[in-house]
Structure formats: C-alpha cells, structure tokens
Amino acid sequence: MATQHSRSAARLMMAPAVILLLGWMLVPLTMTLWFSFRKYLPLRGGDQGWVGFENYVRFVSSSSFWPSVQTTLIIVGGVLLITVVFGVLLALLLDQPMWGQGIVRILVIAPFFVMPTVSALVWKNMFMDPNNGLFAHLWKFFGATPVEWLSQASLPSIVMIVSWQWLPFATLILLTAVQSLDSEQLEAAEMDGAKPVQRFGFIILPHLARAITIVVLIQTIFLLSIFAEIFVTTGGAFGTRTLTYLIFQRVLESQNIGLGSAGGIYAVILANIIAIFLMRIVGKNLDA
Amino acid sequence: MSIKTPLFLASALAIAAGTSAWADGHATTLTIATVNNGDMIRMQGLTDDFTEKTGHKVEWVTLEENVLRQRVTTDITTKGGAFDIMTIGMYETPIWGANGWLVPLDDLSAEYNVDDLLPAMRAGLSYEGTLYAAPFYGESSMIMYRTDLMEKAGMEMPDAPTWQFIREAAAAMTDRDNEINGICLRGKAGWGEGGAFITVTANSFGARWFDEDWNAQFDQPEWKEALEFYVGMMEESGPPGYATNGFNENLSLFQQGKCGMWIDATVAASFVTNPNDSTVADKVGFALAPNSEGVEKKSNWLWAWALGIPAGTQKEAAAKEFIEWATSTDYIELVAANEGWANVPPGARTSLYENDNYKDVPFAKMTLDSILAADPTDPTVKPVPYVGIQFVAIPEFAGIATEVSQEFSAAYAGQQSIDEALAKAQALTNDAMEAAGYR
C-alpha cells in the first residue's frame, strides 16, 4: 500500500508530464477561444480587436454550416456502418483455419499503414479517374459508361476510400475479440441444434459488443476530423465539405482566423455532444 | 618531436577549420517553394548551374497549385519563415507588396536588364511602380487544337474564332467511340483552376464579378448565358468527369490524344508540342482565345508565375542572386542549349520575342499576341472597380472565388442546376463582401 510519502513523490514525478499534456491541449484551445472573439484578418492588417459573438453568429448563419455538419455525420455514419459490418465478417473469415493465414492477415491489415493522402491519390488517379482509371476500364469492358465517381457519386466515393483505410483497424480489433471466444460454448450451442445464424446472433455478436464499442468510439474520434481524403480528391466540392473542411476554408482560403476559430469551437462542441451521446448509448458495454 | 610540430599542426587545423566555417557561412542553402508545372520542374533540373556559379545550394518544395497558394500565404501572413523564395503570381504580388511582406526588387543588377521585362508582366508584379517579384514565365490563354482532327471535321480554324465556332468544331471533332473529346476545359474547383477559366469565359460573354459598387453580378443574364453555353458545350463534346479536371489533367488528356481542342495557358504549348511527352506533338495548331459573337472581350487572361522574397528572410542577398539567375536571359539560353528553344520559359522578356532563334517556334507569335491582347485594367465589357482579368485583386477574392467555383463545379457535375449555382454564388459573394466592408 502506498504511503503518504510515496504518493507525494509519485505526484511530483508525474507533474511535468501532466503539465506538458495540459499545456499541449489548453494552449491551442485557449488561443482558438481567444481568436474566435476577435476580428483577425491577416491579409487586412491583422488583429483588429474584439467583436463579441459576431464570428459565432456569422459562422452558424452561413449557408454552408448545416450542410457541412450533415456531410460530416453522413461520412462518419457511413464509414462506421461499413467498417463494423465488414469488419465482423472479415474477422470471422480470418479466424477460420486457412492456407497462408499469416500473409492474408497482413494483406488485410496493410491499408491501415498507407498515408491518407497517398491512398486518396491512388484511389483518385488509379481507380476512380473516369478516363484512365481502373474502374472506368472495367465499366467499358462490360460495355457500360464509366461512372464519374468523384463528381457524381462524391460522398459514396469518399466513404469508400475512408472505409478502405479504416476497415483493417476494425478487423484487427474484432478478430482479437473473435479469437477470445470460447469454442466450447459454440460447440455446445451447435450440439443443442442452434443454426449458424442463431449462433452468430446469440453468442458471437454479444461477445463482440465490447470490441464493436471500442471500434465505434475510436473511429468516431478520428473520422470527425477527416480532411486529407477530401482535400486530395474533391477539394470540398460536390457536397463533400465537412465541418473540418469548412473551418480550413475559412482560416486558410479566406484568411479569416476569427471566423475559422469560432468554427473550431463549434467543432469541439459537436465532437463532445457526439462523444457524450456515444458513451451513453454504447459506452455502457464497457462497464462490464 | 619538438614543440613546434604540434603547434604547427594545431595552427594548420585551426586555419582549416576557420576556412571551412567561413565557407559554410558564405554558401547558403535557399529553400524555394514552387508549383509543379513543367517549367519549374525543368528549372530544378538545372539548379546545379546556379550552385556552380554562386556556391549556394537550393532545396525545393514543389507543390500542386492550390496547395502552394495556401502554404505560401499561410507562411507569409504568420511570418513563418519557412521559405527564402516563393513562387507567387500576379494576384498575390501587389497585395503582399502593399503590406510590406515582400522584399522590393528595385536594386537588381544592370546585367539583369529589368527594362527587358514585358511591360504587362512588370506592371502586374509591381505595387506603386516598385517590382516585388520577378516573372519566371508569363502567360495568357489561347486555343490549342489538333490540326488533323480539324481537317477531318472539314473545318478550318480562324486566327480569332468565336465561342459559337468552337462549339460547332468541338461537336464535329468528337468521336466518343475512339475516346476523342472535341474540347477539354477546366472544371476543377479552386479560384486559380476552374474559377479562373469560367471567369474569363464569362468576361467574353459580357459578364463581370462586381458592378462599380461592389455588388455581385451573378444574377445578371450574361453569367447565365456563359454558364449555360459552357455546360452545354462540355456535355456535347467534353471528356467524362471534366468537373474535376484542372490544368494538369487536361494537359495529360491532350497529350494522350484525347482532346480535339484545349483552351488554357499559353505556357502549355511547349508541353503539347514536345514529342517526348505528347503523342500529338506534330499535329497541334494555335489560335487566339475565343469571344462570344458581338462581344469584343476575348476569354484570355494574363498571369505570371514569379519569384518573390518574403521580407525578413536572413538570406536576402543569396535569394536575389537566385532570382536574377532564374529569370535572366542567361537562364533562357541555358534551357535553349539543353532542351531547345521551344522549351524556354516564355512570356517574361521582350528580347525573347526579338530573338531570331525563338521566332521559328510555332507558338511564339500566338503567345505574344495573346499576352498583348489581355488588359488587367480593363478586363470586362462593363466597367468594374477592380484590376485583374481572371481574378479580382482584393485579398478576399481567393476565399470567395474558391467557394463560387465549388458551386459551379457542382453544376458541371449535374449535382445542381445552373440557376441554383448562380443564386448560391450571388448570396455567398455578397455576404463575404458585406462582411469585408465593401458594401
């Protein structure tokens, strides 16, 4: 049991790390908050003073705000749905004994190690290009007109690219969970006459609940700030402008730091609302 | 061993170390941000010549056009100091020069011959008569077309065609079964990409961005006419997915032989006629950018990719040496010696167009004529309160035009109607102008 003395020593030793981490988060957050109340236009003479809540009102009343929130939620929801469903299926598949299992698993996991910008470029130029892309050639081979993926099916295309990147993560976590399932339980169910669908619904899926929760929580955190894939492929056009992308446009393209910072604060609030919502709905699975 | 030997060795070492330190201090490494266009890539290959002459080394940061603009703008507004030289254009230079963010280039050497710069380029890169960036190459826009396809279509390209002729010719050249599109044009979102092209197209239909009181003009019939014409023509004869195509995408399509015509930067002429890169190098003709029937203004722009030095750099002297090297007549001759006269950076110097070697280059005259036909101080039929042809020279323009071009790209892709795109463009432009205090 720790003594009063050792506890003090532990606190003292942890203090630098805690201060550093707090500073790491608090300094940018405080600066964003500070700038969000100021008229700060670098191309127009810099910081021009206090404007109260003007930036907040302008950001939220802009015609781009609600569509960007909607786009963000569609992308996050779409990617979560695809990665969880296919992640479970792939995990079950990879759990089966097969020849070359190690190599197959590495190949499945590989996309996760590709940089988002690189994967977006590869998808854009090698697969989705309507003139020279692989999909265009496939479509033409079957006598169909090539799909203009990034302009006509822009949101599904982005969801597809991001899902491809995040599927390995989901698969990996879910595979670990599948492997921890007691095989005797499944055998017993089988002997009792449970069909495969029943075994999946009543044994495997409940067992995977915690892992799915982890996948959903972690992915949501990252997907809310998705940027590179949109920047490289559509540049925010064709209805793919997420909240993060809108903030980027306000700060970097319009060079309006105040307005963009107000957007940043809205993004923090939105992320927290979603996090609380998720914790309430799915987080209870983690209590057990 | 006497005491003298170690003393001598120590002195020799000290002198050697001192000399090396001096040499390190004298030789500077310059960090240069540039765009991934062919002429700049060529310049990177020739950098050794600069290093040999001056001892200075160069590190390149090569970026796609939209990304470059954001990186250098952020760096200069935050005084980041990441670059010693920046590749910027006619839009940024006067605005940054006025803010004191660029080193004035008013003390370039006599051999550099600043008076040789084309007047339009020099004026566009100056603020109140002081040059703030030196033009690496200058450009306007013009038509590049396939002479063989034009002949096959039984048509003849006039020197100064109208949009109506272009549409007709494009339809006649289109052969979708053989992947030949009559015309390839920009549709990619971004103010300097599709935004620039649709602006000059609209100019040639009599449209303008703002009236004299800075009210947006997208609700006027000229804009609707221009967009309807553009979308109609591209649907008839354009390549699939043109809404995501910019300069480089169209260049690649043209070089692959998939375009009958391409209207874009004059600087592309050397790339489409270079047999190493282009499958149609010997079948390319040139003509002036078109205008709509009854409208005097042509759809040609004026632009220079130029080199500027951010104020506050510690390497100003070396940076000026580089700029003099890269934008000099010597550099032009260096490129000519290595890669031929057709590949020298065009549009920056008067002497190039007086050079007998260059007069034989097939696109030289059309490039100069296009540049001379563009007037940034009088870009539209109706009067405007701004300077600039394919842009409006105010700091807010980049942000506004990027969003406007996104709305237009969505219309090109069929995601919304032209009326919807124009209504959104009108609203967001007026909002932004009101917030900026213009209205």
ipTM: 0.80
Q: How far apart are alpha carbons B161 and B75 in whole angstroms?
A: 43
Residue-averaged pLDDT of chain A = 91
CB atoms within 10 A of CB B313: 18
Residues B10 and B146 in one domain: no
Per-residue pLDDT averaged across B271-291, rounded? 96
DSSP B157-193: --SS-BHHHHHHHHHHH-BGGGTBEEEE----SSTTT
Question: Within an 8 Å CB–CB cutoff, is residue B240 touching chain A?
Answer: yes
> In terms of domains, do B109 and B148 share one?
no
Same domain membership, residue B237 and residue B90? no
State the average pLDDT over residues B162-173. Answer: 98
Query: Token pair for residue B340?
Result: 């031929």
Looking at residue A105, its pLDDT comes to 86
Shortest distance, CA A31 to any CA of chain B (angstroms): 15
Dihedrals phi, psi of B215, to nearest 5 degrees:
-90, 135
> For chain B, how many structural domains are there in total?
2
Residue B373 lies in a domain: no
B43 with B146, same domain: the answer is no
pLDDT higher than threshold 70 for residue B246: yes
- Sheet containing strand B259-265, edge to edge, reads B181-184, B259-265, B141-146, B284-288
A197: domain CATH number is 1.10.3720.10
Q: In terms of domains, do B249 and B345 share one?
A: no
What residues of chain A have any CB closer than 8 angstroms to a CB in chain B?
Answer: 41-44, 58, 62-64, 129-132, 136, 145-146, 148-152, 154, 234-239, 241, 249-250, 252-256
Interchain pair A254, B240: CB under 8 A = no
- The band of B2, judged by pLDDT with boundaries at 50, 70 and 90, is very low
Q: Looking at the predicted structure, is the pLDDT value of residue B19 above 50?
A: no
pLDDT in tens, B344-355: 999 999 999 999
The distance of B414 to chain A (nearest Cα, Å) reads 7
Give me the pLDDT at residue B23, please.
44
Report the Cα B278 to chain-centroid distance in Å: 21
In a domain, B388, yes or no: yes
Asked if B181 and B244 sit in the same domain, the reply is yes
Give the distance from residue A69's alpha carbon to the nearest chain B alpha carbon, in angstroms: 17
CB nearest to B395's CB, from A43, A150, A236: A43
Domain CATH for B393: 3.40.190.10
- Is the per-residue pLDDT at B14 higher than 60? no
Instruction: State pLDDT tens for residues A233-263.
Output: 999 999 999 999 999 999 988 889 999 999 9
Q: Note whether B62 and B105 are same-domain residues.
A: yes
Token pair for residue B368?
Answer: 């100069």
Structural domain for B240, as ranges:
141-300+381-435
Residue B141 tokens read as 């826009």
Q: What CA–CA distance (Å, rounded) separates A43 from A60?
A: 23
pLDDT at B421: 97
Confidence tier at B8 by pLDDT (50, 70, 90): low
* Counted domains in chain A: 1
Q: Are residues B132 and B161 in the same domain?
A: no
Q: Is residue A198 part of a domain?
A: yes
Q: What is the pLDDT of residue B24?
A: 44
Interface touch A238/B77, C-beta < 8 Å? no
For tokens 């930067």, what's the residue? B265
Residue B78 CB coordination number (10 Å): 11
Per-residue pLDDT, B12: 53
Question: Comparing C-alpha atoms, which of B244, B438, B75 is closest to residue A255?
Answer: B75
User: What integer pLDDT is reported at residue B18 of this predicted model?
Assistant: 47
Closest CA to B202 of B34, B435, B434, B422: B422
Categorize the per-residue pLDDT at B27 as very low, low, confident or very high, splitting at 50, 70 and 90. Answer: confident
Distance CA A266, CA A33 (A): 10
Q: Is residue B359 included in any domain, yes or no?
A: no
Record: contact B398-A130, CB cut-off 8 A = no
Q: Residue A183 in contact with residue A267, Cβ under 8 Å? A: no
- Check if the beta carbon of residue B288 is closer than 8 Å to that of residue B298: yes
Q: Which residues on neighbouring strands pair with residue B216, listed in sequence order?
A: B210
In chain A, residues with a C-beta closer than 8 Å to the C-beta of B414 are 152
In terms of residue numbers, what domain contains A144?
58-287
Facing residue for A235 by CB, picked from B189, B398, B415: B189
The answer on pLDDT for A285 being more than 70 is no
Whether residue B90 is found in the same domain as residue B222: no
Contact between A83 and A108 (Cβ < 8 Å):
no
Q: Residue A169: inside a domain, yes or no?
A: yes
Chain B residues lying within 8 Å of A150, measured CB to CB: 241, 244
Q: Is the pLDDT of residue A185 over 90?
A: no
Q: Which residue of B has its CA nearest to A259?
A: B435
Per-residue confidence band for B26, with pLDDT thresholds at 50, 70 and 90? low
Q: Is the pLDDT of residue B269 over 80?
A: yes
Beta bridge pairs of residue B259:
B181
Within a domain: A35: no
Mean per-residue pLDDT over chain B, rounded? 92
- Residues B269 and B329 reside in one and the same domain: no
Question: CA end-to-end span of chain B, whole Å?
Answer: 88
pLDDT on residue A100: 87
